[in-house]
Structure 1
Amino acid sequence: MAALGLVHGPLGENSLHLCVDMQRLFAPGGPWAVPWAQNVAAGHRGIDRKTSAANAVHTFVPAARPGEGPGMWARYYQRWAEVTLADIDAGLVDLMPSLARFVPPARTLDKHVYSPWTEGRLDAMLNGSGIDTLVITGGETDVCVLATVLGSIDRGFRVVLATDAICSSVDQTHEALLELYRSRFSEQVETVMIEEVLENWR
């Protein structure tokens, strides 16, 4: 199914590009490599160049040690002990080099769970800012992007999802989530191609 477009009109000065987890951790050669991550990074660069300071980047920070974290996260990091900070190169948490050069002026916020909303840093940044629209890109479509989108909807933001700038390690669930966004959230999520975002961000 084709992207549905910016049905609520052009993007304005109250828009923010929110980039999710485009880090070396998920790049080719990383311990959680997402095959499409490198491909969609080009789309991120296009948005970053156009929007300059209107960018925020979330980076996923794993637990410090195996078995650390609240509740089921402790079990998660027993399973993924080799991806804790104790066992990986700390530089893997950094942004992919092609995107890191946009920081600053882009702002970065760390998170330790899938959602960027849970720990309060994103709310704190946006409260009182006048931002009413979030253009969301990054990975993975069916994990952290999903958590970002749902939290954005709950807070009443206009959500614009750049479909050719999101990716997943599983094609089947990537496609299923795109269908979900388009069919069940069509009043609250606009699914568009990057080209349309760039042409209509004024």
Structure 2
Amino acid sequence: MPQESSTSLSLLDRLAPCRSALVVIDMQNDFCAPGGYVDAVMGKDVSAAAALLPVLNSLIAHARGAGVPVVWVRADYGHGAIPSSMLAKQLRAGIHTECCAAGTWGADWFGVAPLPTEPVVTKHTYSGFHDTDLDAVLRGKQIETLVFAGVQTQICVESTVRDGHSRGYDCIVPADAVASHTPMLHDATLMNVRFLFGDVSDSATILAAWTPSASTATTAFA
């Protein structure tokens, strides 16, 4: 039967496992690991990505335990894959190193990994929805609420949240489940999401919704 409109539901009910998915964005070595692109080429601090792992692993485990789909979004920014405008901007800045090119160490997962049964969506721009099958994957699972986790808050997370919002999804960002190499921009994105594009929550709220006691209370919406 149709699920109840999110306009009449509390945050906990909107997070019901029957209507939710966890979208994990860009947890890859080039974005997160020492020696990766963000660290070695951009010269940015990647420590926030490693600090994210305990929260992220807990969210993933609870999602799997509650039957919440975990959908993985990864970047392939090899020079032959990205739009010419992105490549031109990098070259004008004097950056010739590829980021997360397919088959490289930089493209490998950092600290987390999908199960063989979990969908993996590969993107070539900052939004997980642009020219990918992410929307089709989510619609096929009748998902209405998206919980976002991963990096970088102000770039790929925000771009995907914006596009998810435009497609009618209920977008929720747990502030302690996303991270950035630039804390000021991380904070700005959270303010922007809270203002226009969804809800800013915390991982404790998500975990509470994805426990057996919470999920059994919301099966009426399935």
Range of TM-score over shorter length: 0.7 to 0.9
The answer to whether the 8 Å contact 1:7/1:190 transfers is: no
Q: Distance in 2 between matches of 1:16 and 1:51?
A: 8
Instruction: Quote the sequence identity (%).
Output: 24
The answer as to whether partners of 1:141 and 1:166 remain within 8 angstroms in 2 is: yes
Structure-2 change in CA distance of 1:137 and 1:84 (3 Å): closer
Counterpart of 2:76 in structure 1 is 61
Which residue is equivalent to 1:164?
A: 176
If each structure's helix is expressed as a fraction of its own residues, which one has the higher value?
Answer: 2
Aligned to 2:98: 83
CA–CA distance in structure 1, aligned partners of residues 28 and 71 of structure 2: 14
Give the drift of 1:149: 0.6
Give the Å deviation of 1:7.
4.8
Aligned partner (choices 94, 112, 133) of residue 99 of structure 1: 112
Shift of 1:115: 0.4
Q: Letter of the aligned partner of 1:95 in structure 2? A: W
- Counterpart contact for 1:15–1:134, Cα < 8 Å: yes
Cα distance change of structure 1 residues 49 and 74 upon mapping to structure 2, 3 Å threshold: same
Partner of 1:3: none
* Structure-2-length-normalised TM-score: 0.77
Decide whether aligned partners of structure 1 residues 42 and 81 sit closer, same or farther in structure 2, where only a CA change above 3 A counts. same
Go from structure 1 to structure 2 and tell me whether the alpha carbon gap of 1:148 and 1:69 turns closer, same or farther (over 3 Å shift).
closer
What are the ranges of 5 or more consecutive residues in structure 2 without an aligned counterpart? 1-8, 40-45, 216-222
1-structure distance, mates of 2:124, 2:61? 28
Aligned partner of residue 135 in structure 1, secondary structure: strand
1:123 and 2:135 aligned: yes
Any idea what SS the aligned residue of 2:121 has?
strand
CA-atom RMSD in angstroms: 2.2
In the other structure, the counterpart of 1:109 is 121
Indicate conservation of the 8 Å contact 1:63/1:77, yes or no: no
Equivalent position to 1:189, from 174, 185, 198: 198
Report what 2:26 is aligned to: 21
Supply the distance in 1 between the matched residues of 2:177 and 2:169 (Cα, whole angstroms): 19
TM-score (norm 1): 0.84
- Rg bigger for which structure? 2
Give the 3-state SS of the residue equivalent to 1:51 in structure 2: helix
